[in-house]
Amino acid sequence: MNREGSKESRNESMVVTPWEVGGVIDYDRLLKEFGIHPFSEIIDKVPDPMHLMRRGLIFGHRDYDRIVEAMRSSKKWAVMSGFMPSGLPHFGHKMTMDEIVWHQRAGGFAHVAVADMEAHAVRGMSWEKVKKIGKLYLKSIAALGLKPRNCIMYFQSSANFVKDLAFELSSEVNWSELKAIYGFSSETTLAKMFVTSVQAADILHPQLSRFDGPKPVVVPVGADQDPHLRLTRDLAARVSIFAFEKIEGGVRIRSRKGNSYLRDLEKELSFEFKSYAEHIDVFGDYGEIVELVRKTEVEMGGFAFIPPSSTYHRFITGLTGGKMSSSKPESYISLFDDPKTAAKKVKRAITGGKGSAEEQRKFGGEPGKCAVFELFSIHLIKKDEELEEIKNRCKNGEQLCGQCKKLASQLVEEFLKDFQEKVESVNLGDYEIIC
């Protein structure tokens, strides 16, 4: 397959695409190649940031400024992400779920998609199976704290407004673009191509008028999903009527759907402006002008989509080293594992420790390369000081891997027991759910 011009990140040592992740991940390179901004650049502005942000586990973002601004004002905003039900939810999915829950608590309206169309098209799974597993994802996020208020959950295949929007968006995407972004080949099925538009529709649907129109939306994902976000941000602009460009003292506005829209827009402008055949220059505050134009576009029947924001978290390492994979049960902890079995898996995990206790006391361990320490920092230890202490003790050779494993397996067992009890008591009927 010819991958030239492809925007995916791939060389001998690292592969990051929506359908394949492998090798040693170089996060700085990912930021540069994908054009993602480091999260460290914005964290100081985030009110009471969550542990994944504080610990650098969420390492990148696009346009998160827009979300911070919305959090600080009383404007409406949303958080949306999706899960492909191709296997049981595991600790990797929990990370995204925790992010959705955190954003809902911070004031966002939460939209949760079960990507059953994607699982069917890409993984060849039966509808029956994806429905059954999909419900476990929804029960899981509910058990992790997602509240029924300010929330909607849906299966892609049941949400007609998503499928209709996907069709609309697909008319702006052509074959060479798909090939460049996803590396598709002549063997790729039409369904696999179409689910990329369905995902774009997942991401943009919170801005439909049935959800109160254009608004900032943040999509928490792993960096492998960034190609979808780049395409969606582009599509958001392409299907909307008006385009904005900053000029001295204001905004230049063009229409993508014919200049008659410009003439209609002029009638609604409460700002000083200059009219040209192909554009209008409007003078005043950028934000206020754009907001008014978007509102007018919606009244005209347009989408007026705001490009979605996103955050990117690190890939969770498998317990056995390498990547966490649903085809290797030893490599991950499923949220539905028997708690005792999960505890045993932790005991067998690969650590950043040395070959012998003696060596480790002398040279210290490497928490940065340790699957157990990763479990602590992503999932098991909430207090920063406690985590910091383990890290320092490890580096100084004061902590041995046995102690860590004992603690981690205890915490995993307790967590899973409690989580699975909560799942039992979840009533999906309390939620707005389209399935």
Residue 159 in the binding site for ligand TRP (CB under 6 A): no
- Residue 351: name its binding partner from ligand SF4, ligand TRP, none (Cβ under 5 to 8 Å by kind): ligand SF4
Q: Cα separation of 266 and 371, whole Å?
A: 59
Q: Which of 113, 223, 375, 378 binds ligand TRP (CB under 6 A)?
A: 113
- Residue 365: name its binding partner from ligand SF4, ligand TRP, none (Cβ under 5 to 8 Å by kind): ligand SF4
Between 136 and 350, name the residue whose CB sits nearer to ligand SF4.
Answer: 350
- Residue 151: name its binding partner from ligand TRP, ligand SF4, none (Cβ under 5 to 8 Å by kind): none
Residue 319 in the binding site for ligand SF4 (CB under 6 A): no
Q: Among the candidate windows 20-28, 112-120, 339-347, 390-398, which touches ligand TRP by CB under 6 A? A: 112-120
Q: Which of 95, 100, 110, 115 binds ligand TRP (CB under 6 A)?
A: 115
Residue 377 in the binding site for ligand TRP (CB under 6 A): no
Token representation of residue 21: 């992740």
Between 233 and 405, name the residue whose CB sits nearer to ligand SF4.
Answer: 405
Between 357 and 428, name the residue whose CB sits nearer to ligand SF4.
Answer: 357
Residue 373 in the binding site for ligand SF4 (CB under 6 A): yes
What's the chain look like in SS3? CCCCCCCCEECCCEEEECCEEEECCCHHHHHHHHCCEEHHHCHHHCCCCCHHHHCCCEEEEECHHHHHHHHHCCCCCEEEEEECCCCCCEHHHHHHHHHHHHHHHCCCEEEEEECHHHHHHHHCCCHHHHHHHHHHHHHHHHHCCCCCCCEEEEEHHHCHHHHHHHHHHHCCCCHHHHHHHHCCCCCCCHHHHHHHHHHHHHHHHHHCHHHCCCCCEEEEEEHHHHHHHHHHHHHHHHCCCEEEEEECCEEEEEECCCCHHHHHHHCCCCCEEEECCCCEEEECCHHHHHHHHHHHHHHCCCCCCCCCEEEEECCCECCCCCECCCCCHHHCCECCCCHHHHHHHHHCCCCCCCCCHHHHHHHCCCHHHCHHHHHHHHHHCCCHHHHHHHHHHHHCCCCCHHHHHHHHHHHHHHHHHHHHHHHHHCCHHHCCEEC
Longest dimension (CA), the chain: 80
- Residue 84: name its binding partner from ligand SF4, ligand TRP, none (Cβ under 5 to 8 Å by kind): ligand TRP
Q: Among the candidate windows 75-83, 160-168, 335-343, 358-366, which touches ligand TRP by CB under 6 A? A: 75-83
CB atoms inside a 10 Å sphere around CB 35: 12
Residue 16 in the binding site for ligand TRP (CB under 6 A): no
Question: Contact letters (x/-) for ligand TRP, 174-213, by CB under 6 A?
Answer: -------------------------x--xx----------
Q: Among the candidate windows 108-116, 334-342, 360-368, 413-421, which touches ligand SF4 by CB under 6 A? A: 360-368
Q: Cα separation of 110 and 102, whole Å?
A: 10
Between 159 and 346, name the residue whose CB sits nearer to ligand TRP.
Answer: 159
Q: Cα separation of 285 and 267, whole Å?
A: 19
Site residues for ligand SF4, window 392-411 (CB under 6 A)?
Answer: 394, 399-401, 404
Minimal distance in Å, beta carbon 356 to ligand SF4?
13
Minimal distance in Å, beta carbon 95 to ligand SF4?
19
Minimal distance in Å, beta carbon 5 to ligand SF4?
42
- Residue 115: name its binding partner from ligand TRP, ligand SF4, none (Cβ under 5 to 8 Å by kind): ligand TRP
Q: Which of 53, 63, 66, 81 binds ligand TRP (CB under 6 A)?
A: 81
Q: Among the candidate windows 36-44, 78-86, 238-246, 395-403, which touches ligand TRP by CB under 6 A? A: 78-86
Please tell me the count of residues contacting ligand TRP according to CB under 6 A.
Answer: 13
Residue 165 in the binding site for ligand SF4 (CB under 6 A): no
Question: How many whole angstroms from its chain centre is CA 233?
Answer: 14
- Residue 280: name its binding partner from ligand SF4, ligand TRP, none (Cβ under 5 to 8 Å by kind): none
